[in-house]
Each structure stands twice: as C-alpha cells, then as structure tokens.
Amino acid sequence: MARLADPRPFYKSLAPLLIWPTLPRPADWSAVFGRRAPLSLEIGVGNGEFLARESAAHPERDHVGIELRWASVKRALRNLSKPGVAPGGNVRLVLDDAKPVLQRLFAPRSLERVFVLFPCPWRKEVHEHFRLFHRDFCALLNSRLVDGGEVLLVTDWTPFAEWTLGQLPGNGFAVDHRLIDPAFQTKYERKWLALGRAQFHEVRLRKQEHRDVPVREDLPLNPPQLAALDFERFAPEDVTGPITVTFKETVRDRERQVAMIRTVVVEEPLTQHVWITVARDQAGTWWIVPARGCQMVPTAGLQLALERVAEAGRASAAAR
Ligand SMILES: C[S@@+](CC[C@H](N)C(=O)[O-])C[C@H]1O[C@@H](n2cnc3c(N)ncnc32)[C@H](O)[C@@H]1O
C-alpha cells in the first residue's frame, strides 16, 4: 500500500530502454542513436548515477548501460530523466546480463571505453563462477574494444582486485593497477566510504593486441507442430545438463484451448525467462511457440524447450 501511495514515479520515460533481443546482431548503434559517435559502455550501472553524469559530461559520445536487475534499471531510468541529462538522447539502457549482450550486440572493435564500477565481488569461493572478468570475459571485452580502447574497473575489495589481475595475462591488455581516493560518487562508493574505506582499487586496461571473439549468432527457431495432444494431461519434463530447462508452471485456458508454460532456459551465460504457448490453429494443428511479446533470444536451449513440450504433447496423445 505504501508503494501505491508514493507519488514519485519510478521512471518518467522508458525511451532509453532498449528491448535488446529485437536488435540486429551486432546492433547498428548509429541507427539506434541517429548518428555515428564514439561508443562507451557501463556494465552494472546500478541506479545509473554515473551513467547520467557521464552522458551529460560527454555529449559528443554515445553511452550504453547494461544492468542485470529491473529494480536498478527503474532507478536508472529515473536518474536519466533528470533535467540536463542526456540532452541529445545519447544514452541507452539494456536490461540483462552483460556477457550475452556483449557477445551479441557489440561488434569487434566497436567500443572506445568500458566502465565497471564496484562490480559484485561474489566473496564466497563457491560463488566465484558468478564474477565478471573470468578469462573468457576478458577476451570478449578485449575483442569488443577498439585498438587502444580502455576499461576502467574500480573495486573496494582487495581479493577481487587480485583475482581479476590474475585473469588478465594473455588477454591483450596493458594493465595499470593502483589505489585511488573516492572519485565516482556512486551508491556503492558512498556505501563503502560510510563503512570506513578510504581508498579503492583502480584497474585500468588498455587494449594492446586484438583477441578474436566473433559475434554470437542466433539460431532460427523451428516451432514444433503436432497433429494430436491431450490438452489436460501433457506435462513437459525438465532438462538438466549443459543446457537446463525448467518448466515452472502451466496455465490452461480451457475455453480457448490455449496453454501457456512459464519456462526458464539456462545456457551459460544466458538465462531466459520465457512463456511458451501451446495453441491449435483452425486446421486443428497444435503449435508450440514462444509466446507473443516475450523478450527472447532464439537459441539451442529455447529450441530444446519447445521440443521438450512437443515430446510431452506426443506422449499425452499416445496415452489417451
Ligand atoms: C555492487 S552494484 C554497483 C552499482 C553501481 N555501479 C555503483 O557503483 O553504485 C553491482 C551492479 O552490477 C549489476 N550486475 C551484476 N552482475 C551483472 C552482470 N553480469 N551484467 C550486468 N549487470 C550486473 C548488479 O545488478 C548491480 O546493480
């Protein structure tokens, strides 16, 4: 109730938000921004304070922010709609994990600068695989930077800085690591200052040699069709392995004979939350397709999820 009564809008405009799966691979950034300009990227923008300031301070550049969490994207949209920010519309936001987005939307040698301020350190050893800056991510970053392009990473946590430095050798960067005073005025910088940290690790990477990481191609989806299916009983089974597919729930509209299946497909580094529709056309054929309006990336994992639903449909028809 308190939230409903709060008169502040979470965001004033959705205009900076890109529905990235609908963009070409790689994205044509000059078409997105309506001009050709040097491109900067911030990964993990949080509430977007730095992105807002950076885009206002550098109207001659275009700026893309990637953020994993919708709650943060809403705050960033609010900060980006403040007066004086992005006056020429030189900033866009992408809601997703930075890795699949970098793989698909950014061509090799397309980014001038990349900022990563106070990334999640994933302090426990068992969570280390969640960290950014694993070797393959460093190679991907390198490939997306123009020759001489730069990455700026700032962290409060010494073990994370040391771990990151250990991932860099062989990835084509000149590395400069030092301790710096607070300089970025972000939420997490303020948080660590309030907890008594006076200095932070700054790791600057300058691209010296190119690493070749091609743009990730999508797969044309092939939606299965079935002549028969038991609408009440079909129940797809989860998949485990290098690709995991979890069917969370099935909602059935019995009158219209349309079912919707809430599905999570994980194929590292991409996690997709999609709905799959099972519906019959006028000729009586059942179609198994990603639901209209879903933000989805056509992949082998999504095709596997569709096939799994089709298998369940066939089994249900055979059991009748
Ligand atoms: C510790 S916060 C720092 C936020 C902001 N840069 C600041 O300094 O206040 C890390 C942010 O990175 C986001 N994040 C974590 N992993 C990410 C990923 N793989 N891709 C994009 N954003 C990510 C988190 O959702 C979170 O908003």
* pLDDT score recorded for residue 221: 95
In order of start, what are the domains of the chain with their CATH numbers?
A: 2-207 (3.40.50.150), 225-318 (no CATH)
Encoded tokens for 245: 């597919």
224 near 239, Cβ under 8 Å? Answer: no
**Cα of 119 from ligand 1 centre, angstroms:** 5
The burial of 214, by beta-carbon neighbours within 10 Å (0-12 exposed, 13-18 middle, 19 or more buried), is given as exposed
Q: Which of 43, 134, 160, 190 to mutate to test the pocket of ligand 1 (most atoms within 8 A of CB)?
A: 43
Whole-number Å distance, alpha carbon 45 to ligand 1 midpoint, is 6
- pLDDT, one tens digit per residue, over 263-299 is 999 998 899 999 999 999 999 999 999 999 888 999 9
174-178: long-range contacts (C-beta < 8 A, 24 or more apart)?
174/205, 174/206, 174/208, 175/203, 175/204, 175/205, 176/202, 176/203, 176/204, 176/205, 176/206, 177/201, 177/202, 177/203, 177/204, 178/202
Q: Give strand pairing partners of 111.
A: 145
What separation in Å is there between the alpha carbon of 152 and the centre of ligand 1?
Answer: 14
Residue 269 to residue 253: CA distance in whole angstroms: 34
What is the structure's pLDDT at 62?
A: 97
Contacts of 53 (CB under 8 A, 6+ apart): 185
Separation CA 210–CA 187 (nearest Å): 34
Which of 41, 42, 47, 67 to probe ligand 1 with, by most ligand atoms within 8 A of CB?
67
In tens, the pLDDT along 105-137 reads 999 999 999 999 999 988 888 788 889 999 999
Which of the listed residues 47, 54, 68, 114 should we mutate to test ligand 1's pocket, taking the one with most ligand atoms within 8 A of CB?
68
Instruction: Provide the pLDDT confidence category of residue 11 given band limits of 50, 70 and 90.
Output: low
239-266: average pLDDT: 97
User: Does residue 46 carry a pLDDT above 80?
Assistant: yes
- pLDDT exceeds 70 at position 2: no
Report which ligand 1 atom has the smallest distance to the Cα of 188: 9
- Percent pLDDT > 90 in the chain is 85
Dmax (CA) for the chain in angstroms is 71
Which residue has the least CA distance to atom 19 on ligand 1? 97
CA of 47 relative to ligand 1 center, distance in Å = 9
Residues with CB under 6 A from ligand 1: 43-44, 46, 66-69, 72, 97-98, 117-120, 132, 186-189
Interval between CA 302 and ligand 1 midpoint (Å): 26
Over residues 60-76, the pLDDT tens digits come to: 999 999 999 999 999 99
